[in-house]
Structure 1
Amino acid sequence: MKHTRWVYTPKEINVKRGVAYGLTDLMGGGWNNIVSGVIFAYLTLSVGLNPAMAGAITGIARVFDAIFCLIFGTITDGFYKTNLGKKYGRRHFWMFIGLIGFAISFLAFWVPATSIFGPGHDFIYYLVVYTLTELFVGMILIPWETLPTEMTTDYTKRTVLSGSRMFISATGTSLVFFILAILQSLPSAEAKKNAYLFAGILWTVLFVVAIYISYRSTWERPLTKEFIAELDARPKLTVGQYIKETLHDYGQTFRNLAFSKHLTIYIFSFTGKDFYATLLPTFIVVCMGMASNIPWVLNAFAVFGILSTLAAAKLMITHGPRFLYSLSYIGIIIALIAYGIVYFMHVKNPLTILIIITILYQLSRGILEFTPWNVFPFIPDVDRIMTRGDKAGTYAAVMTFFRKSTGALATWIAGILLEELGYVSTAATQAPGTTDKIALLFVIAPLVLIVIALVVSWTFKLNRQTHAVLQGEINRLEDGGDKRDVTPEAKQVAEELTGHPYDELWPDETYEEVQAEKSKE
């Protein structure tokens, strides 16, 4: 078979190519904000489910999806052994399958369950359809997230790809809320009633087109004779061996100190963002007593996240991720405290002040979302010097697993806490003191998580300079260099990033050779 298909043909990486790659995150960023910011409000304020049941739908589905993602990452890593993988690409094949499934299930989610099955089936319907949608989203995002590592080893070019991705993600976030805000602001009663359905149709068309462009504009590591030989040397495992090795591989990622810190920062900051997005509509409508379209109007200011993302792309190169983390998290902390002050000071006509606070939050959120996934493409390089393996898919799967697990728990816990605090979604007014408790939850829950992420980020050492040193050492060793000739700087950087003595790095046997020996035991 001649591997001359576009999926194996490298092309020039420029801003245009970066935008084409990043278009998938129009769905990625938009979907995550729909999950954390829209679905809970839709299920409680529109469908009428109680908050605990609404939280359970996203919680249960994401637990199943998180388990699926753990298995799926390794499947994509090894899928090039199959004829389908060789022909269509180990990553791109699954992106296309996921795209088709997503187009169907995501649209179905916004169709009222009562119009299909009648009353009494809301919970099961939304749980099943939402779970399927999550699985298809994972099928798209996990292979797509590995593509910068597949497409280039250059830090600046990867930054072009990842930076463009996060710019598009911020655009997706803004479009999601902007579309819903417009539809809910229309004077027609029929339009308001079907606002979520109309928004779902527009979102589906927008996301599907974006993903397909990204799918056709990217490529994978070419299947050279050397690469095929490397892949063929990997052992074929039984189902039991496969599960055992998969769990072992995922556990081994935590031996990577840079990844452990990166994951901690990522999970705590994004979970804090989830709490904010989940609780904001309830805070604005129930606590502040404002109209139902105001949360989406405020969230539409996510467009400011695009501006901060543009700035972050440059600051990532000049100042590094640690600076961006501090800038983002401190801004969010200030915004959260300001929300609490506006509520507890009983500010009259607070919309203008809330807009200013929200703009600060959205500027900071844009950087929060930009930075971790801009760092991620360099994490597998730290593993490379530890294991001599190619496990980008494994790392992407672990990140996705924990992101979806904690995201699920955030929404679920938020729903349970709201019910425990006495919130009744169908009630015209809440019991005395309930709104104060909801406001405190809205401020304190994300605040604590963001503070933890901030503190850990101060110890993070992977940046452009340290990666260049690490990559130089990897290149030297791959060219047959002797470990005894390592420079003091390379030794120090390798040890700081991996968390292991240099003597334990770059083992005599490659990751594939170790796996082959284990399969013979």
Structure 2
Amino acid sequence: MSKKSNWVYTPKKIDVKRGIGYGLTDLMGGGWNNIVSGVIFVFVMSQGINPALAGAITGIGRIFDALFSLFFGAITDGFYKTKLGKKFGRRHFFILLGGILFMILFPLFWINSDDWKYYLIIYIAVELTIAMILIPWETLPTEMTDDYNLRTVLSGSRMFISATGTAIVFLVLAFLKHMKNPNAYLITGIIWTVIFVIAIFISYRSTWERPLTEEFVKKLDSEPKLSLGEFMKKTVEDYFSTFKNKSFRQHLGIYLLSFTGKDFYSTLLPTFIVICIQGTKEDLPWTLQALSIVGILATLAAAKLMITHGPTFLYKTSYITIILSMVGYVAVGFLKINNPVIILIVISLFYQCGRAFLEFTPWNVFPFIPDVDRIMTRGDRAGIYAAVMTFFRKSTGAVASWIAGILLAEIGFNSKTMTTFASTPENIRHGISLIFFLGPVLLIAWALILAWKFKLNKKTHEILKNEIKRLEEGGSKADVSEETKNVVEELTGHPYEKMWPDN
């Protein structure tokens, strides 16, 4: 290892400044997710491409991404054995390579073309490049320190930076659309590229990896070696085993339904605002999306409410707020309110607060889930549960765009000729309004029903945790209290007698 590359393995003091340096990559992470759900579909349709094909681009791309992500983490785990891995770091090598590829590929997506296959190929390449950056980057808090509080400093910075990335995405696009720049998407894509690449390389240089000491390498080498086929088989078996956990089934359902409903909103909002609401301009949807910046304050409120009122309260508040906001949007369209911009801004502020709660809650509930599995299996499988959540989110991440595109094509929407309220027939406008309303509302309402039945909270988790501790200390299952037994059975979905197996 050369002296020049030693910084990759040199620990430094972790403080707020270092946490921001690490978290800056989530400018791209948070920004990209909103570009996928809120911009790409509209941009591709603006090239005159059929809505069904426009939706298919992100749908197909996310499937490739999910499969790639399934095994890419294992590739980085073992990359320390190579010369490049030793010199640049097993994680940092891919962050560097991904940053360079992103700088080349991302601007290419925003070039005008009437060939949907061009966008599909570039989109898949960009998705895989971003996975190449984010997967090793997400392991860095574990690499950089063993201290729980210091890891919290690193990971906590992501929450605010991600929200900032969301606002940047829409503010830049709204400004250029307001200026009526004919190359707004291309210029915006270049600006995004510059901002994201600078953030990636600051994170690259602000972070480090665990030194490859003799002891650490010995530990890595002691892990069982699996072929790709064996690895895939084991991964699938592990994934399916998590569905035996009732709390996790409910949690995953709430997570996927609510996030897909949010994606449906982001995908169709620009089309709905411009086509279905009289007197609105092309830049308004992006201005409304940029109001996501209030999500930073809403997230702080959510953190406090999580402690005082629990996750079910947050879920209910979030989903009811979003459903009422959707009613408000559609009402503005059907009532044909004159100059509705202020009303739309107020509705969007409520929506963005609900969205912030929606995004905050699932991953703050998640740390409780492995404890339910713990009493079922006696195992420590937090990583498997996190992988399942990530895999299914990636798999469903663009399904909203795909379905929205198919539905728009089915009602006869033509993105070439129907570009304004006046140029779109009334029956098409009503169809778009119906799709825009029903997509998010049905999915969010379903998530609300599941959330109402969700019993894992601070009180039940405390009972569960105490029971695990009692069993770990040699306590007998026969001595369980009636309350504890009922809580365990409610959370796991299985008879108490099957808990804490001997093997």
* TM-score normalised according to structure 1 size: 0.82
Asked whether the equivalents of residues 27 and 161 of structure 2 are also in contact (C-alpha less than 8 Å), the reply is: yes
Q: Give a deviation string over 1:209-240, Cα, whole Å, max 9, x none.
A: 22333445456678788876664443222333
Deviations 1:459-511 (A, max 9, x none): 4455566667767877898xx843549986988776655555667566667xx
Kindly state the Cα deviation for residue 33 of structure 1 after the two structures are TM-superposed.
0.8
Partner residue in 2 for 1:117: none
- Is 1:268 the counterpart of 2:257? The answer is yes
Residue 286 of structure 1: which of 259, 275, 282 is its match?
275
Query: For structure 1, which runs of at least 5 residues remain unmatched after alignment?
Result: 114-119, 510-521
Cα deviation 1:388-414 (Å, max 9, x = unaligned): 666555444322322222222210110
Give runs of aligned pairs for residues 136-151 of structure 1, distance below 5 A: 136-145=129-138
User: Pairwise CA RMSD of aligned residues?
Assistant: 3.7
Pairing of 1:161-180 with structure 2 (within 5 A): 161-180=154-173
Conserved in 1, the CA contact under 8 Å of 2:277 and 2:332? no
- The alignment partner of 2:39 has SS state of helix
- Preserved CA contact (<8 Å) 1:275 1:414: yes
Question: Where does 1:110-259 land on structure 2 (aligned, <5 Å)?
Answer: 110-113=110-113, 122-145=115-138, 161-186=154-179, 192-217=181-206, 231-259=220-248
Q: Is 1:49–1:425's contact at 8 Å kept on the other side of the alignment?
A: yes
Does the residue aligned with 2:63 lie in a helix, a strand or coil? Answer: helix
**What is the CA-CA distance between 1:250 and the residue it aligns to?**
1.9
1:456 and 2:445 aligned: no
Say whether the 8 Å CA contact 2:25–2:196 is kept in structure 1.
yes
Give the equivalent residue in structure 2 for 1:482. 474
Tell which deviates more after alignment, 385-394 or 467-476: 467-476
How far residue 302 of structure 1 moved from its aligned partner, in angstroms, is 1.3
- In structure 2, which of residues 385, 409, 412 is the aligned counterpart of residue 419 of structure 1? 409
Q: Deviations over 1:444-466 (max 9, x none)?
A: 11011111112222344555666
Q: Secondary structure at the match of 2:439?
A: helix
Structure 1 pair 202–431 and aligned structure 2 pair: CA distance change class (3 A) = same
Is the Cα–Cα contact under 8 Å of residues 376 and 501 in structure 2 kept in the other structure?
A: yes
Per the alignment, residue 330 of structure 1 pairs with: 320
Q: In structure 1, what is the Cα distance between the partners aligned to 2:87 and 2:308?
A: 40
Q: Given the superposition, is the C-alpha separation of residues 210 and 312 from structure 1 closer, same or farther in structure 2, using an over 3 Å criterion?
A: farther
Deviation (angstroms), 1:193 = 1.2
- Give the Cα separation in 1 of the matches to 2:296 and 2:496: 41
Which residue identity is paired with 2:135?
I
For 2:249, the aligned partner's letter is S
- Quote the offset at 1:366 in angstroms: 1.6
CA contact (8 A) 1:69 1:397 kept: no
Q: Which residue is 1:437 aligned to?
A: 431
CA distance in 2, matches of 1:424, 1:469: 57
The answer as to whether partners of 1:148 and 1:162 remain within 8 angstroms in 2 is: yes
* 8 Å CA contact 2:36, 2:398 repeated in 1: no
CA contact (8 A) 1:422 1:434 kept: yes
Deviations, residues 26-68 of structure 1 (Å, cap 9, x unaligned): 21211111111111111112x2212111111111111222222
Amino acid of the structure 1 residue aligned with 2:429: T
Q: Distance in 1 between matches of 2:468 and 2:234?
A: 25
Aligned residues: 494
Cα distance per residue 1:82-123 (max 9 Å; x no partner): 77667766655544433333232212212334xxxxxx6x21
1:143-175 CA-partner distances (Å, limit 9, x unpaired) = 444556677788877665554322222111111
Match of 1:53 in 2: 53
Is the CA contact (8 Å cut-off) linking 2:178 and 2:282 kept in structure 1? no
Match of 2:293 among 303, 317, 335: 303
User: 1:72·1:397 contact (CA, 8 Å) conserved in 2?
Assistant: no
Alignment of 1:390-405 (within 5 A): 393-405=383-395
Contact 1:81–1:231 at 8 Å: present in 2 too?
A: no
**What is the percent sequence identity of the aligned residues?**
62
Give the direction of change, closer, same or farther, for the CA distance of 1:506–1:211 in structure 2 (3 Å limit): farther
Alignment CA distance shift 1:474-1:8 (3 Å): farther
Quote the Cα distance in structure 1 between the aligned partners of 2:211 and 2:498: 31
- Contact 2:274/2:282 (CA < 8 Å) preserved in 1? yes
CA distance in structure 2 between the partners assigned to 1:273 and 1:366 by the alignment: 11
- The DSSP-based 3-state class of the residue aligned with 2:339 is coil
Contact residue 102 and residue 126 of structure 2 kept, 8 A: yes
1:185 Cα offset (Å): 1.4
Q: CA deviation at 1:255?
A: 2.9
Q: Which amino acid aligns with 1:101?
A: L
